[in-house]
Structure 1
Amino acid sequence: MSRFFATGTDSESESSSEDEPVVRAPAPVYTFSDDEEETKRVVRSMKEKRYEELEGIIHSLRNHRKIKDFSSALASFEELQKAYTRAAPVVAKEENGVAPRFFVRALAELDDWVSTAWSDRDSRKTLSKGNSKALTSLRQKLRKYTKDFESEIATFREDPDLPDDDEEHKDTSSSDESDDEDKVKDKPVSVRRSPEPPRRPPPQDDESSDSMDWGSSSSDSSESSDGENRGDVMTIRAKFYKKTTEKEGEEERDRRKAKRREERRERSGKISKKDQADDGGEWETVKGGKGAAISDKPKMFAKDSDIDAALVVKKLGEISAARGRKRTDRRAQLELLHELRTVAAQHNLGDALQLKLRAATVAALFDYNPKVSDAMKPEYWSRLVENVDQMVTLLLAHEDMVLSEAFTEEQEQLVTAPFRVRGCLLTALERLDDEFTKLLKECDPHSNEYVERLKDEVRVSALIDRVCQVVERDGSPQEICRAYLRKIDHLYYKFDTRAVRKDLPPGEETTIKKMERLCKYIYAHDETDRLRTRAILSHIYHHALHDNWFQARDLLLMSHLQETVQHSDPSTQILYNRTMANLGLCAFRRGNVKEAHGCLAELMMTGKPKELLAQGLLPQRQHERSKEQEKIEKQRQMPFHMHINLELLECVYLVSAMLIEIPYMAAHEFDARRRMISKTFYQNLRASERQALVGPPESMREHAVAAARAMRRGDWRACLNFIVNEKMNAKVWDLMVGADNVRAMLGRLIREESLRTYLFTYAHVYASLSLRSLADMFELPRQRVHSLVSKMIINEELLASLDDPSECAILHRSEPTRMQALALQLADKVGNVVDSNERIFEKQGSFFQRGGQQRGEGRQRGEGRQREGWNRRTRNRRRDDERGDD
């Protein structure tokens, strides 16, 4: 007998052979025919085939989305359309014509991806030509194709977290496959195996016979041989024996599949009645969503654990530790925090722990948005407002509860009063307010969505008021200043109609009084210049909005912000520009034309008021602005409801410049050293004068230029008609508060400045002027005409004297006539030309004369050098001779 088939040592094998003969089973013999193979046939339905085809195309589509391959995505989408057309009979039969959920999910995801790519203009510019065309075609075809599935997509978007129908389909298909496999196994196959040899009976409590267990095919034999007899050699028969049978492996696979199906049903929260009947147990139907029934001891804790505040805080630390890590499911974090908060409420662990969990939820909601520059989704922003509001409610309900960043985790007190919780309510409020501003800037300002989103400002303002109450109770003066500034930011640009009412009850607080109270606290307690500067600018803006011109002007002059504002941050500079623009409008409404022009000149002369007021970006040429700078500037833009009308600003600036510039031009018509008061207005006027044919004005700027030309002629009626008419009223003047008063003020100013222009232009024609005639001509009161003429005489603008008995202005003809002035100008110009020609001739003549002199001087210098050399040689010779004599 060969020793290769022995399991022990040589001596053991010999002794065992002597005791009893060993009967070895013959090796199994497998016989295959040429045309027979071991194959498995799986019978699949038409539904499985069509759905598998759709899933394969959807999988390729998702891969194309990851690499942003729009060309391949377009081709896959066309294949998906054809595949769904082939699957339409199956869908009509199995799903009653309703598209399967996994197909609807794919369409919704593709639509979101295409919409995001289309809205990102910067990324579209970087695409290749093929990808750009493919994106356009894909967008058009997708929008046309999804019209047939609008109801299914809308239903899917209401609750996208529900599982797809294909999961149940996969479960049933897998079970069908296993059943089919069993059926196939029952059928005779082409493999024929010899009958299995009889196994040796197990030993009866004999330890010495363990090594002779020939029939064991499990892992026990290998473990015993490896663990107990490490020095033994594994037999060839044991080495090549199959460890588990096919039947055992199939049973293990079936158990794993059943376990996976059960886990999926538990996650989806739905258990079918058929499964209940098959399992024979009583199951409780669980509804998904907010109303889900959660057991007293959820899976995040052990069954026999005693849930208390320390355990919940420890679990909170584990959940929060995953923040910021790669591949962290942010939505799952929010669900875990909600579940943890529910468990804490069920076990009555106290409001302090609820406050801590709310603060963690707020932080997780902020983390849900991966890009800081993008706006948060509206539904998550609403959840954010609810959580912050609940935090404020808890703090206001408990005076002995303090939420502060000054506390460390070791100093927290969550069980007994006084409660101390680590966190910062003010920071959460500031970020919430910033997210609200981003949401407004993301919406189309001319759509109903913007109006609906703007309604949430009432919630934000109410929440800021409540936070101010908490901060006033528990916060430091600097934190109170920060909270007040947030309140001021939502208040300073709003017009309060109660402020102009005279029948207002004495105890009621208007926005002007509230702004004064908040700003004065910041003036007194702010430790940083930034908050104080912003408070001053907001206070000036609010005063100017309500036509409190003198208060706004005095506050601006006392603050000296004009000298230091260029060193401030960009947002403060934008606020300064907005304040100066509104201050200029206030001055114009009050009739202070020079002050209005001075406030608006610096803003309008740059030609970029839209950018300076953060109300939009102008297109740049030659890459003056990089993409990074453009992205940063877009983040600084103001929401649409806070914009200042740029056309109104330009009209006020041009009218103010007209009322100042035209009389000045008439007074210094022949002065060569005349300066320009408004360069922008002067350029527009000169461009209009250079035109050969001037038609009727159409735009607001053309109306202002036509009015200036009429005023220059002294025609105040035409000037007033160009400035105040139905078109200008609708576009400009009706936008102002007190539009009727503004129009009356404009008529008065135009008549007065037209009178001054008339006197400057035609004074040399008259020997005397009747004040009554001037009053009738310009429809002004006689006292006002007398005042204007007297002022011009005092300022030496008009060489005249007043005769009170006759009410006339006697003009002194010391000024040259128009012909004389033009002759003098011509004489000056001719004299300048003659002087310049003489200077040129002198330069040319001196050049030729200087050339001859240079040649003579050079000859003289050469002769001098020769004489000096001859004298030096003569002296040297004499010195040598004298030495030789010595």
Structure 2
Amino acid sequence: MASKFWAAASSEESEEEVTSSSEESSSASDDGSSSGSDSDSSSSSSSSSGSSQKKGASRFLMGSSDSESEDERRVVRSSKDKAHDELRATCGDIKNKMHINDWAAIQTLFDKLNKQMERTQKLTQSLGVPRAYIRMMCELEDFLNKTLAEKPKLSPTNTRALTRMKQTLRKHNAAFVEQMQIFRENPVYETEEEEAPSPSESERGDESERELNTEEEEEAKFKQVRTGVVQRPKDKILSMDPKEITYEMVQKKLGEIAMARGKTTRVDRQEHIEMLTYLAGVTKGPVQKVEILINVITVTFDMNQPTQNAMTVPNWNRCAQTMFDIMALLSDNRQISLTDSPPEEERQEEPEAGAPTLVWGNLGAFLERLDDEWNGSLKTLDPHANEYMDRLKDEAVLLALAQKVSEYLEAQGELAKLAGVALKRIQHFYYKTDVVYSAMRKLALQQAQESAQAQEPAPAAEAEVMDGEEVEGATELIVVKIPADFTLPESCAELVEQLARVVYQHGNDNQKGAAMLCTVYFRCIRDDFYGGRDMLLMSRIQDQTSQLDAKMQVLFNRTIAQLGLSAFRAGLIYECHQCLMDLYGTGRVKELLAQGIQQHRFQEKTPEQEAAERRRQVPFHMHINLELLESTYLISAMLLEVPAMATLQSSDGRKRIISKPLRRLMDNYDRQSFTGPPENVRDHVMAAVRSLSTGDWRRAYQYATALTCWNLLPQKEAVLGMLRSKMQEEGLRTYMLAYGRFYSSLSIAQLCDMFELPERKVHAVVSRLIADDGLPASHDQPTGTVVVHHVEPTRLQTLAGTFSDKASLLVDLNERALAMRTGALHADEDDGDGRRGQDGAQGGRRTRMGGRLGGAGGFGRGGRGGRGGGRYGDRERGSGFMPESGFGGGVFGRGRGRRQNTQRDDSNMTQLGFAARRRA
């Protein structure tokens, strides 16, 4: 009984044995049979007895069935081995199809092979490529070239498959060129391995170990080629005595590093930086040292791509410190000059002391790249974290470096490059208020003082690199030291004006335009609205907005937004609304100001467009507060729109819309069935609109001042006082227009008490309404009242007004149709003939930023002006401020001003009606 039990156990263990090849399984079975020879008879008897019983639960304990052979074993293989077997099987199928020129099947199997290849790499978790796959690619490429050379007769299906396979394989094998080249140099075929004589067991074990090691080395080599990182032994020049290193050896290494630029694989930039840092300490003269330091900057720039990610802080610090070292060498050796063109002949020895020498390099381009990398790093950081504030402190390094480069370029007489550096310096100052500039100046001077007090001029990182330690650990210790002679003037206005003068004298058109916009922005944040407005109008840059690049368009939009905020702080409500209305008319304020990306329902952007827009964004510390901007625009629109709505009610439904965004918000607000207390900016403004439309200026003022964005203004009390007076005036005007017709007379004293205005101001507002024919009334000075005239226009007067409107519209359409037919639309508009005489003053007053903002010229659309304003005023035909990214609708670019003809016709009709009434 015991022998039967152990025999059954041995048979079950032999059946469940796990093997990797047929030879191992057979040898294992031989060993098992030899060890268990005593129990052969018992096991055979048990198997025979078990085979005779085929019913019941005992049949599941049988060793084998009758249909199975005794030599077969169940093999359990891992998923990795199965994946490799499937890969080899597909390669075998491709070889079989190659013998019969079945290119349609080859194409199908090729796609299957690539999918199996991806699955194999996921299972093995390796970046390497199996040798069987590389072997198949080589054979398939050779067979394809052979077939194309022989040009056999194939069926149309196979011909199309061959053509497609030719294009597909060429693109596919481009990623495996180096692996295929290594395989062709040392091919190993499976057939050769199979035909080799079988050695003994000990020799087989040794050979398997050697083959395993060889395969591991080959896989590691393929992985290195695939990832582009190849470990190489360090150059022998690093271990040589510095005295043995000659000038030619250093130049040779510089040439090798220069030749490696542009390559993306099998190049270790960190090793190049280590080599250049070492060579900088063993140079034979200042000229060669300047060349090495310039190569350090270029190699560091090559370590990252600006379109993907920003430069790391250690690399940025290394570049900045290297540029300071270059500036120190150039100041000590005046005979060395930098040039944009590389020298024609390589130097074989160090030039003589004092001899003029040209070295390739462009300090202005290096400075611009550092500035871009600094801005890029700020965009990737959280603006509310401490890292952002720490990174902002590096701005002092940029300013000190820009000052040094400016001094060098001015001494060399390179005025064109000097203008570019001056513009970069302006772009660091134009958005700063006096308080921010003072804080930055104090920090920069403190850093310069600390650098002057430091005893060790060389950074510790450079000393560690010279000792041969790892560069990655050394770069963390690099601290850029600002030169001790770095200074900043106390007045930021004088500095910006001086730099702008340099750009105006020596810069190109784009640089001059950018400097002008920065200067306007600088004046606006200091409440010089009229100075900024006049400079902007004289530049005529609004006429070329469609030709500007994306950065200039963003700067123009930011300047216009700041101009509107300046006008609001000065109490110029109409000018503020005209500046901001087109920014908010498009509904894409964030995109226009480059302060974020908005997702639109009916617009999809490609990844390239999104990446370009993200690169165009401005850092957080340069943002204009959107809540303050929205509050300013909506309140200015409210102060203009509410009296217009009252005029609309009292004039029998004539259409006059000043702010479409505000009207849209009002319609949505009126359609709501339930309105709770105001929460955001729009809710507060809508509640203020409702209160002001009834003349309740006190409640409207409470809603407007409840906004928290007013705390961002340094002159908060003055702005709120101005807003209070504007609310009182517009409340009086709205009350008179909406409810004046219900009175026979109104007391001036009572109006003064209701709106808390002086009698002189109330008299001025009412007189203006009477003069503009908005209120049919007159002053009764003895009694101190305003007498309202309840005279309705006659039927004839009403028909005359309607006829005047239709006739004016008909003339306008005929002129436009004739102009489009003859193609003289733009020529007629540019002639500026206008409606000679009667509508000149009114047209110039209704230009986009005409009237107070721009006189007869002005910015945008308007009524038909005289010669000064052009036929349609001085308008913008903007086709959108932003380029390919879908920025629609241009600032100051929404029309040609003929839309304002209705206002002129409305005023004509009113004049006609009331004139006839007076005559009656």
Alpha-carbon distance, 1:493 to partner: 0.9
CA separation of 1:433/1:304 partners in 2, compared to 1, >3 Å: closer, same or farther? closer
- Note if contact 1:657-1:681 (Cα within 8 Å) is conserved in structure 2: yes
Task: Confirm whether residue 488 of structure 1 aligns to residue 426 of structure 2.
Answer: yes
Counterpart position of 1:798: 775
Counterpart position of 2:566: 586
Task: Confirm whether residue 510 of structure 1 aligns to residue 487 of structure 2.
Answer: no
CA separation of 1:513/1:668 partners in 2, compared to 1, >3 Å: closer, same or farther? same
Task: Confirm whether residue 560 of structure 1 aligns to residue 540 of structure 2.
Answer: yes
Counterpart position of 1:262: none
CA separation of 1:780/1:317 partners in 2, compared to 1, >3 Å: closer, same or farther? same
Task: Confirm whether residue 772 of structure 1 aligns to residue 772 of structure 2.
Answer: no
Letter in 2 for 1:590: A
- Note if contact 1:359-1:423 (Cα within 8 Å) is conserved in structure 2: yes
Quick one: which of 688, 694, 716 aligns to 1:707? 688
CA deviations on 1:242-275 (whole Å, 9 max, x unpaired) are xxxx9xxx9xx9xxxxxxxxxxxxxxxxxxxxxx
Q: State which drifts further: 428-437 or 612-621.
A: 612-621
CA deviations on 1:694-726 (whole Å, 9 max, x unpaired) are 32212210110110010000001110011012x
CA separation of 1:316/1:763 partners in 2, compared to 1, >3 Å: closer, same or farther? same
Distance 1:190 1:606 in 2: 83
Distance 1:432 1:71 in 2: 44
Structure 2 length normalisation: TM-score?
0.54
Letter in 1 for 2:673: A
Quick one: which of 442, 448, 452 aligns to 2:386? 448
Number of equivalent positions = 539
Distance 1:342 1:783 in 2: 82
CA separation of 1:72/1:771 partners in 2, compared to 1, >3 Å: closer, same or farther? farther
Counterpart position of 2:377: 439
CA deviations on 1:572-623 (whole Å, 9 max, x unpaired) are 1111111111111111111111111111111111111111111111124466
Quick one: which of 787, 799, 814 aligns to 2:764? 787
- Note if contact 1:764-1:813 (Cα within 8 Å) is conserved in structure 2: yes
Task: Confirm whether residue 625 of structure 1 aligns to residue 602 of structure 2.
Answer: no
Within 5 A, what are the aligned runs for 1:832-851? none
Within 5 A, what are the aligned runs for 1:366-381? 366-370=301-305, 372-381=307-316
CA separation of 1:467/1:685 partners in 2, compared to 1, >3 Å: closer, same or farther? same
Task: Confirm whether residue 339 of structure 1 aligns to residue 278 of structure 2.
Answer: yes
Counterpart position of 1:27: none
CA separation of 1:359/1:414 partners in 2, compared to 1, >3 Å: closer, same or farther? farther
Distance 2:123 2:641 in 1: 63
Within 5 A, what are the aligned runs for 1:105-184? none
Alpha-carbon distance, 1:330 to partner: 1.0
Within 5 A, what are the aligned runs for 1:271-282? none
Letter in 2 for 1:679: K
CA separation of 1:713/1:368 partners in 2, compared to 1, >3 Å: closer, same or farther? same
CA separation of 1:426/1:625 partners in 2, compared to 1, >3 Å: closer, same or farther? same
- Note if contact 2:272-2:299 (Cα within 8 Å) is conserved in structure 1: yes
- Note if contact 1:309-1:414 (Cα within 8 Å) is conserved in structure 2: no
Counterpart position of 1:257: none
Alpha-carbon distance, 1:410 to partner: 3.5
Distance 1:486 1:190 in 2: 77
Using CA pairs under 8 Å that are at least 6 residues apart, name the structure with larger relative contact order, 1 or 2: 2
Alpha-carbon distance, 1:801 to partner: 2.5
Two-structure CA RMSD over aligned residues (Å): 3.8
- Note if contact 1:549-1:587 (Cα within 8 Å) is conserved in structure 2: yes
Q: Please give the secondary structure, in 1, of the residue aligned with 2:237.
A: coil
CA deviations on 1:541-570 (whole Å, 9 max, x unpaired) are 111111110110001110111110111111
Q: Please give the secondary structure, in 1, of the residue aligned with 2:545.
A: helix
Percent of aligned pairs with the same amino acid: 38
- Note if contact 1:373-1:635 (Cα within 8 Å) is conserved in structure 2: no
- Note if contact 1:707-1:722 (Cα within 8 Å) is conserved in structure 2: yes
Counterpart position of 2:321: 386
Letter in 1 for 2:309: D
CA separation of 1:318/1:810 partners in 2, compared to 1, >3 Å: closer, same or farther? same
Quick one: which of 684, 692, 698 aligns to 2:673? 692
Alpha-carbon distance, 1:310 to partner: 4.6
- Note if contact 1:499-1:512 (Cα within 8 Å) is conserved in structure 2: no
Counterpart position of 2:453: none
Counterpart position of 1:543: 523
CA separation of 1:462/1:73 partners in 2, compared to 1, >3 Å: closer, same or farther? farther
- Note if contact 2:343-2:358 (Cα within 8 Å) is conserved in structure 1: no
What are structure 2's unaligned runs of at least 5 residues?
1-29, 32-79, 85-115, 127-199, 214-233, 440-487, 807-920
Letter in 1 for 2:776: L
Quick one: which of 700, 703, 723 aligns to 1:746? 723
Task: Confirm whether residue 408 of structure 1 aligns to residue 408 of structure 2.
Answer: no
Q: State which drifts further: 307-316 or 468-477.
A: 307-316
Alpha-carbon distance, 1:500 to partner: 12
Counterpart position of 2:267: 328
Distance 1:791 1:534 in 2: 42
Distance 1:71 1:721 in 2: 70
Counterpart position of 1:472: 410
Alpha-carbon distance, 1:447 to partner: 2.1
Alpha-carbon distance, 1:628 to partner: 1.4
Q: State which drifts further: 688-697 or 609-618.
A: 688-697
CA separation of 1:68/1:444 partners in 2, compared to 1, >3 Å: closer, same or farther? farther
CA separation of 1:313/1:767 partners in 2, compared to 1, >3 Å: closer, same or farther? same
What are structure 1's unaligned runs of at least 5 residues?
1-34, 37-55, 61-66, 78-188, 192-245, 254-293, 502-506, 833-886
- Note if contact 2:269-2:303 (Cα within 8 Å) is conserved in structure 1: yes
Alpha-carbon distance, 1:680 to partner: 0.5
Distance 1:473 1:68 in 2: 63
CA deviations on 1:756-791 (whole Å, 9 max, x unpaired) are 001111111223322222122111122222222222
Counterpart position of 2:94: none
CA separation of 1:74/1:763 partners in 2, compared to 1, >3 Å: closer, same or farther? farther
Q: Please give the secondary structure, in 1, of the residue aligned with 2:787.
A: strand
- Note if contact 2:242-2:282 (Cα within 8 Å) is conserved in structure 1: no
Distance 1:426 1:458 in 2: 17
Letter in 2 for 1:707: A
Alpha-carbon distance, 1:689 to partner: 1.9
Alpha-carbon distance, 1:498 to partner: 9.3
Distance 1:631 1:407 in 2: 34
Letter in 2 for 1:713: T
CA deviations on 1:160-210 (whole Å, 9 max, x unpaired) are xxxxxxxxxxxxxxxxxxxxxxxxxxxxx999xxxxxxxxxxxxxxxxxxx
Q: Please give the secondary structure, in 1, of the residue aligned with 2:282.
A: helix
Q: Please give the secondary structure, in 2, of the residue aligned with 1:403.
A: strand
Q: Which of these two proteins has the greater Rg computed from alpha carbons?
A: 1
Distance 2:436 2:315 in 1: 36
CA separation of 1:353/1:709 partners in 2, compared to 1, >3 Å: closer, same or farther? same
Task: Confirm whether residue 364 of structure 1 aligns to residue 345 of structure 2.
Answer: no
Letter in 1 for 2:311: M
Letter in 1 for 2:546: Q
- Note if contact 1:662-1:708 (Cα within 8 Å) is conserved in structure 2: yes
